[in-house]
Amino acid sequence: MGTHRRPKPPSRALTATLGMAAGAVSLLPTQSQAAPKPTVDEVRKQVEKLYEEAEAPTEEYNEVREEEKKLQGEVDSAQDRLAGKQQEINELRGKTGPLAAAQYRSGAIDPSVQLFLSGDPDDYLDKAEMLGRTSDRQADALRALERKQRELTQERATATQRLKALAEARTKAGEKKDEVQGKLRQARTLLNSLTAEQRARMEAAQERADAASGSSDAPADYNGPAGGRSRTAVEFAYAQLGKPYEWGSTGPNSYDCSGLVGAAWRSAGVSLPRTVKQMYDAGRTVARSDLQPGDIIYWYNDNQHNGMYVGNGKAIHAPRTGKNIEIVPLDSMPFFAASRP
């Protein structure tokens, strides 16, 4: 039998190399070494940022929806006109006798009528009358029919253009809606990552911050100096205190920021455009030093967020998803401008 030989021990160099490799492997991330969950304060800041980022596309969505309503009205009008023109043509066809019947119904028309279709109808009719081929009454009817047919063709082209624009507006509105809902989903996911205790802690911290800043969403009666339409608008806004913010909403149970401002002034008989940007462009700019209750306040920029001045350095606004209509100090957000309807 051969001699049993013991395995040769590894060299010192190999031992050192293996040791280094083992050390390196131990430094690789493992599931137990996953990145720590964000703190409650970090979640709060991320959620606030997401809600803020959702405001601009919310206003863009509102603008597209207004355009969509306008286009739908134009499409409906065009279709009504089409139906009217078609009815007029049907009545004219009944008056043009066998010639019109052949021309518009069967397509089997004699050579003289083919000339009418392919050449200059007016010139043909003049010659036909001279030759006695058609009566004055028939000629007038055919001319009217040809004119109505041209109008019908134009109406169809207009309706087609409006329908295309409407489809494009709907697509754009859908994209903006998806963008807003994506931001809100991210915010909800972050909030759901907190434990019940953490969420309670975060809400308590928010309440303390609101109290410190003087914000209020408890129902209240307005007893300030506003008069006339401005008072009506401010009183309406006060009556909405405590109702929830909801993107794209104009009431009566919830509002977004421009939805609240528009509804308040609408209650006073003043019609405002739908979005923050449109309201800013349509209003008369007023200096901060000249603010009066009812004036529209714009924060951050001219298209992101607005509310209404109520006096004493405060404003009422629909803040963001997850919060209710409230009264806040004018400088609770970066003041940008003010306008008067």
Question: Which of 74-112 are b and which e, b meaning 16 or more Cβ less than 10 Å from the residue's Cβ?
Answer: bbeebeebbeebeebbeebbeebeebbeebbeeeebeee
The answer to whether residue 257 is catalytic is yes
Single out the catalytic residue among 44, 274, 305, 314. 305
Q: Tell me how crowded residue 150 is: count the other CB atoms within 10 A of its CB.
A: 11
Among this protein's residues, is 280 annotated catalytic?
Answer: no
How far is Cα 67 from Cα 75, in angstroms, rounded to an integer? 12
Of 317, 332, 339, 341, the catalytic one is 317
The two structure tokens encoding residue 331? 């400088």
Our CA dihedral for 238, 242, 246, 250, rounded to 10 degrees, sits at: -30
Q: Find the helix or strand (DSSP H, E) in which 33 lies.
A: none
- The DSSP secondary-structure symbol of 232 reads H
317 is known as an active-site residue: yes
The two tokens of residue 94 are: 């009944």
Residue 292 backbone zone (phi > 0: left; psi -120 to 50: alpha; other: beta): beta
Contact 313, 329 (CB under 8 A): yes
Of the residues 50, 241, 257, 260, only one is catalytic, namely: 257
C-alpha dist (Å) from residue 311 to 138, 217, 271, 299, 316: 75, 16, 22, 16, 10
Q: Label residue 196 exposed, middle or buried (CB < 10 Å: 0-12, 13-18, 19+).
A: exposed
Q: Name the residues annotated as catalytic.
A: 257, 305, 317
